[in-house]
């Protein structure tokens, strides 16, 4: 397929979340300028949570997109990823959210316009997508894909608090999330609230549970927050939990993750990998989050690796080396 000037084109659809922290009309205009000559088919705009998945399916089925470019945050990328797994179409997550862990983990620059310029260069060179493993959580029959992390308990309650005050999230970002996490930890009851089983093993109790499919878990500014350094090894999920209620376990995990991973040796923290599944039970119901999106409260959840997502990254599979 070629454009009128004879240059090779590549079917591209842009999916925009206008509510994301860094999205603005000028950013979309820039995306259209740099990707238009390469085969841009459509620009689609989300209208509500969950809409990105529907639009992503339409991008492939109606517009024939080989690359879906998301302009939003990790939640938008995760919704789109769920619709793209197994289709042969690739996801290119551009950083227009508040933290953009997935895009930055793949190697895209923090500045969205610069990342779009880099993406255009990769597509023009014919760079091929890479295949990555992400995560899937089924909670009381409600299914979600996550591309960075998911959690039950403290971090999910922090996400709920952050989402109740979007202006605070927009203005002070990770500082607001850190404060919300501390407040959630202080409210957590000693002894914990979830029963966990790893790959069908014996169940044990945790105060909270965090699951990741890649590392780092998050960023504080330019600094990686490597809470679960075992995540992503051999396509496995990494997990970490607070073994005691209250603030001590989460505080140890946070400080350790920022200063050399010594938290993994603490008796207040449990951690490991799951190659097949992580099963979680809560008699009273517990808050869940996936990629910073609150999912609600659930009594049962299963986390599993999900293979088959293609992603574009800087310097991905170079056809000249194949």
Q: Assign residue 116 the CATH number of its domain.
A: 3.40.50.10330
Q: What is the DSSP letter of 215?
A: S
Please report whether residue 295 resides in a domain: no
Task: Please check whether residue 6 lies inside any domain of the structure.
Answer: no
Q: What is the pLDDT of residue 5?
A: 36
Same domain flag for 128 and 35: yes
- Split at pLDDT 50, 70, 90, the class of 180 is very low
Same domain, 198 and 235: yes
Into how many domains does the chain fold?
2
**pLDDT of residue 163 exceeding 80:** no
69 and 181 in a common domain: no
pLDDT score, position 134: 97
- The strand pairing partners of 2, in sequence order, are 8
202 shares its domain with 228: yes
Smallest CA-to-CA distance from 139 within 259, 17, 294, 13 is with 294
pLDDT of 317 over the 70 cut: no
CB 213 within 8 A of CB 145: no
The answer to whether residue 248 sits within a structural domain is yes
Q: Decide if 58 is inside a domain.
A: yes
Q: What is the pTM of this model?
A: 0.86
Q: What is the CATH number of the domain that holds 180?
A: 2.60.200.40
Structural domain includes residue 41: yes
Least confident of 252-256, 302-306, 309-313: 252-256
Instruction: Tell me which residue range forms the domain holding 194.
Output: 149-290
Same domain, yes or no: 116 and 162: no
Do 161 and 213 reside in the same domain of the chain?
yes
Q: Read off the DSSP letter of residue 2.
A: B
The reply to whether 1 falls in a domain is: no
Same domain as 274, residue 173: yes
Mean pLDDT along residues 288-295: 90
Beta bridge partners of 307: none
| Mean pLDDT value of segment 216-237 | 90
- Cβ contact 101:218 at 8 Å: yes
Label residue 210 by pLDDT band (50, 70, 90).
very high
- Say if residue 156 is in the same domain as residue 87: no
Among the listed residues 293, 317, 300, the one whose alpha carbon sits nearest the alpha carbon of residue 52: 293
Q: Based on the domain organization, do 102 and 169 belong to the same domain? A: no
In whole angstroms, what is the distance from residue 205 CA to residue 75 CA? 29
C-alpha span between 36 and 45 (Å, rounded):
17
* pLDDT above 80 for 33: yes
């Amino acid at each position: 397929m070629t454009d009128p000037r004879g240059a090779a084109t590549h079917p591209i659809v842009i999916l925009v979340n206008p509510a994301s922290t860094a999205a603005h009309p000028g950013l979309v205009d820039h995306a259209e300028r740099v990707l238009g000559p390469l085969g841009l088919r459509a620009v689609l705009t989300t209208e509500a949570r969950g809409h990105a998945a529907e639009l992503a399916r339409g991008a492939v089925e109606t517009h024939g997109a080989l690359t879906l470019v998301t302009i939003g945050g990790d939640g938008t990328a995760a919704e789109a990823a769920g619709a793209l797994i197994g289709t042969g179409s690739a996801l290119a997550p551009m950083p227009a959210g508040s933290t953009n862990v997935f895009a930055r983990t793949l190697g895209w620059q923090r500045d969205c316009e610069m990342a779009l310029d880099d993406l255009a260069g990769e597509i023009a060179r014919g760079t091929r997508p890479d295949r990555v493993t992400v995560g899937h959580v089924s909670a009381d029959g409600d299914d979600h894909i996550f591309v960075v992390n998911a959690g039950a308990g403290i971090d999910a309650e922090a996400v709920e608090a952050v989402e109740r005050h979007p202006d605070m999230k927009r203005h002070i970002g990770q500082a607001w999330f850190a404060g919300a996490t501390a407040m959630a930890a202080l409210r957590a009851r000693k002894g914990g609230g979830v029963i966990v089983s790893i790959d069908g093993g014996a169940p044990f109790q945790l105060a909270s549970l965090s699951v990741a499919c890649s590392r780092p878990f998050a960023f504080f500014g330019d600094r990686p927050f490597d809470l679960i350094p075992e995540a992503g090894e051999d396509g496995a999920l990494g997990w970490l939990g607070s073994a005691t209620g209250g603030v001590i376990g989460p505080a140890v995990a946070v400080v350790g993750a920022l200063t050399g991973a010594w938290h993994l040796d603490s008796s207040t923290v449990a951690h490991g990998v799951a190659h097949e599944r992580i099963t979680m039970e809560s008699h009273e119901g517990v808050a869940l989050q996936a990629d910073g999106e609150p999912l609600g409260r659930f009594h049962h959840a299963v986390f599993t690796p999900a293979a088959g997502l293609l992603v574009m990254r800087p310097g991905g599979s170079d056809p000249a080396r194949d």
